[in-house]
Amino acid sequence: MEKAYFLILIALVASQGTASSSTTNVVSHNNTLDHDLDTLLAFKSTISDPQNILPINWSTSTSVCYWIGISCNTRHRRVAAIQLPKMGLVGTIPPQLGNVSFLVWLDLENNSFHGNLPTQMVHLRRLKHINLAFNSFDGGFPSWLEALSRLRYVSFCSNRISGSLPPTLSNATMLETFRLDENLIIGKLPQEWSALQNLESLGMQSNKLEGPLPPSLFNLSSLQHFSFTNNSLSGYLPARICDYLPQLQGLYLSRNEFSGEVPAGIGGCPRLQILSLSYNNLAGNIPKGIWNLTTLRTLVLGGNDIQGTIS
C-alpha cells in the first residue's frame, strides 16, 4: 500500500506541469519555496546525522527540491514529500514543520527521533501519508490527526505514545491504514471509529487496551487486517464475524482475555489467511468450517481450553 501511495504521489507531482513564467507568479513561487526552505533548515538544526548526509546535502546553494529526501510539487513549487527513513537520524520535529502546508507525504521511519509531536502539525491539511514508526516519540496521542481529513496511511508503531484513543479520529474518513503497535495506549476502543469505512488495516498490538471490542467495529466491512495481540481485551467474539468482515485476511487477537468459543462462522471468511487466537480464555470445539478455508495458512489456538478432535 505504501508503494501504491508513493507512485500516486510521483504521478501527481509529474502531472502538475511547470509554474507560470510571469514575473508576479515567479516572485510568489520563490517566496513560498523560501518559506519551505526556512522550515527545513529549522528541521535540520534539530537533527544529528551520524552519516553526515544532511549537513552536506541540505545546502542553501542548491534548490530545496533537489535535497536528499525532498520532493516538490512542480506546479506550486512547494515541498510535497519528506522521506528520510532508516538514516540513523537523531532529533525532534520542530513546530515549524506545520508550515509546510503542501506536504502530502512524511516518512521518518526507523530513526531515533524523540519528543512530542508538535500540535502545529494540525496545519498539514494536505497530508495523506505519515509514517513515524520505529522511533522514540512520546507524549499523548496526537489529537490533531482528527483534523487531517485526507489521511490514508498512519503508522506510529514502536514509539512511546501514551493516553487514550480519541473518538474524533472518526473524522478522518479516508483512512485506510492505522497502525499504533507497541506503544503505551490505554483504555477502550472508541465505538465512533465505525465511521472509518475505508479502513483496511487496523493494528494496535502490544498496548494496554482493555474491555470488549465495540460491536460497531464489526461494521468495518473493508477491513482486511485486524491486529490487537498482547492487550487486555475481553468479551466474546461474534459468531458471524465473517458476515460483518467479508474481506478479512488476518485476525490477530492472541494474548488477550477473550472468552466464549472460537466464532462458529469463522469458516465463512473466504480470504482468511491467518487466524491467531492463542492465550485467551476460549473454550469449546474448533468449528468444523475452519477446515473449509482454502486460503488459511496459519492457525494459532494454543493456550486456551479448546477441546475435541482435529479431523
Region 38-45: what's the mean pLDDT? Answer: 96
Residue 26 has pLDDT above 50, yes or no: no
> CB–CB of 87/108 below 8 Å?
no
Distance CA 82, CA 111 (A): 14
Distances in whole angstroms, Cα of residue 74 to Cα of each of 21, 29, 71, 101: 13, 10, 9, 15
> CB–CB of 245/223 below 8 Å?
yes
Global confidence as pTM: 0.88
Ordered by where they begin, the domains of the chain are 1-162 (3.80.10.10), 164-311 (3.80.10.10)
Q: pLDDT confidence of 309, banded at 50, 70, 90?
A: confident
Distance CA 160, CA 116 (A): 10
For the stretch 258-298, pLDDT in tens is 999 999 999 999 999 999 999 999 999 999 999 889 999 99
For the stretch 208-246, pLDDT in tens is 999 999 999 999 999 999 999 999 999 999 999 999 999
Region 121-128: what's the mean pLDDT? Answer: 98
Region 127-135: what's the mean pLDDT? Answer: 99
All three cell numbers of 125, joined, read: 491539511
Burial label, 172 (beta-carbon count in 10 A; 0-12, 13-18, 19+): buried
Please report how many Cα atoms fall inside a 13 Å half-sphere around the Cα of residue 201, on the Cβ side: 12
Q: pLDDT confidence of 9, banded at 50, 70, 90?
A: very low
